[in-house]
Structure 1
Amino acid sequence: MAELPTFLSARDVGPPIHDFDVFKESKDENFFESQESIAMLCSYLQQLPRPLKDLEENQLKDELFKLLQVSLWGNKCDLSLSGGESSSQKTNVISSLEDLKPFIIVNDMECLWSLLSKCKKTSEKAAVVRVDIVLDNSGFELITDLILADFLLSSELATEIHFHGKMIPWFVSDVTVHDFNWTIEQVKHSNHELMSTCGVNWENYIKIGRWIYHDHIFWTLPHSYCAMPQVASDLYAELQKACLIFFKGDLNYRKLAGDRKWGFTVPFHQALSGFHPAPLCSIRTLKAELQVGLRPGQAEQLMASEPTWLTTGKFGVFQFDGPL
Structure 2
Amino acid sequence: MQWMNTMENAVSLSARFEGSFAYYTIKDRLPKILTQVIDTIHRHKNKFYEEHGEAGMEAEKKAISFFSKLRNEMQTDKPILPLTSDWPDTHLWNQYLEQQRTLLNEGEEPSWFRSPWLYVECYMYRRIQEGMMLSPPIAEFDVFGAVKNESFFQSQQAIIALCTHLQERKRDIPSLSKEQCQEEFYKLLQVSLWGNKCDLSISGGQDNSQKSSILASLESLKPFVLVDDMVSLWNILSRSGTEKDAKTRVDIVLDNAGFELITDFILADAILSLNLATEIHFHAKCFPWFVSDTTKRDFDWTIQQLLAANHRWMSKCGQTWKENLKKGSWVYHENLFWTLPHEFWSMEGVAPDLYAELKKSNLVLIKGDLNYRKLTGDRKWDFTTPFSQALKTFHPAPLCSIRTLKADVQVGLRPGVGEKLSAAESDWMVSGKYGVIQFSPAM
Shorter-normalised TM range = over 0.9
Q: Tell me how far apart the structure 1 counterparts of residues 137 and 266 of structure 2 sit (CA, whole Å).
A: 34
Unaligned runs of 5+ in 2: 1-86, 91-128
Q: 2:205 aligns with which of 61, 72, 84?
A: 84
Higher mean displacement: 303-312 or 223-232: 303-312
Q: Would the aligned equivalents of 1:53 and 1:154 in 2 still touch at CA under 8 Å? A: no
Measured after TM superposition, the shift of residue 13 of structure 1 is 7.8
Q: How many residues align?
A: 318
For 1:157, the equivalent position in structure 2 comes to 276
Q: 2:343 aligns with which of 224, 227, 252?
A: 224
Map Cα deviations across residues 55-97 of structure 1 (whole Å, 9 max, x no partner).
Answer: 2100000000000000000000000111110011111100000
Q: Tell me how far apart the structure 1 counterparts of residues 279 and 263 of structure 2 sit (CA, whole Å).
A: 17
For 1:62, the equivalent position in structure 2 comes to 183
Map Cα deviations across residues 196-234 of structure 1 (whole Å, 9 max, x no partner).
Answer: 100000000000011111000010011100000000000
Q: Tell me how far apart the structure 1 counterparts of residues 323 and 135 of structure 2 sit (CA, whole Å).
A: 31
2:306 counterpart of 1:187: yes
Q: Secondary structure at the match of 1:50?
A: helix
Letter in 2 for 1:109: M
Q: 2:410 aligns with which of 291, 302, 307?
A: 291
For 2:57, the equivalent position in structure 1 comes to none
Q: Tell me how far apart the structure 1 counterparts of residues 247 and 440 of structure 2 sit (CA, whole Å).
A: 21
Unaligned runs of 5+ in 1: none
2:319 counterpart of 1:200: yes
Q: Secondary structure at the match of 1:48?
A: helix
1:206–1:14 distance in 2 versus 1, CA, 3 Å: farther
Q: 2:359 aligns with which of 212, 222, 240?
A: 240
1:99–1:205 distance in 2 versus 1, CA, 3 Å: same
2:249 counterpart of 1:121: no
Letter in 2 for 1:181: D
Q: Would the aligned equivalents of 1:49 and 1:55 in 2 still touch at CA under 8 Å? A: no
The structure with the largest helix share of the pair is: 2
Aligned-residue CA RMSD in angstroms?
A: 1.8
1:109–1:33 distance in 2 versus 1, CA, 3 Å: same
Measured after TM superposition, the shift of residue 258 of structure 1 is 0.9
Measured after TM superposition, the shift of residue 303 of structure 1 is 1.5
| Higher Rg of the two aligned structures | 2
Map Cα deviations across residues 107-131 of structure 1 (whole Å, 9 max, x no partner).
Answer: 1011111111111112xx1111000
For 1:111, the equivalent position in structure 2 comes to 232
For 2:112, the equivalent position in structure 1 comes to none
Q: 2:426 aligns with which of 298, 307, 317?
A: 307
Q: Would the aligned equivalents of 1:54 and 1:155 in 2 still touch at CA under 8 Å? A: no
Q: Secondary structure at the match of 1:143?
A: helix
TM-score if structure 2 supplies the norm length?
A: 0.70
Q: Secondary structure at the match of 2:365?
A: strand
Give structure 1 regions of 4+ aligned residues with deviation exceeding 4 angstroms. 8-15
Q: Would the aligned equivalents of 2:307 and 2:318 in 1 still touch at CA under 8 Å? A: yes
TM-score if structure 1 supplies the norm length?
A: 0.94
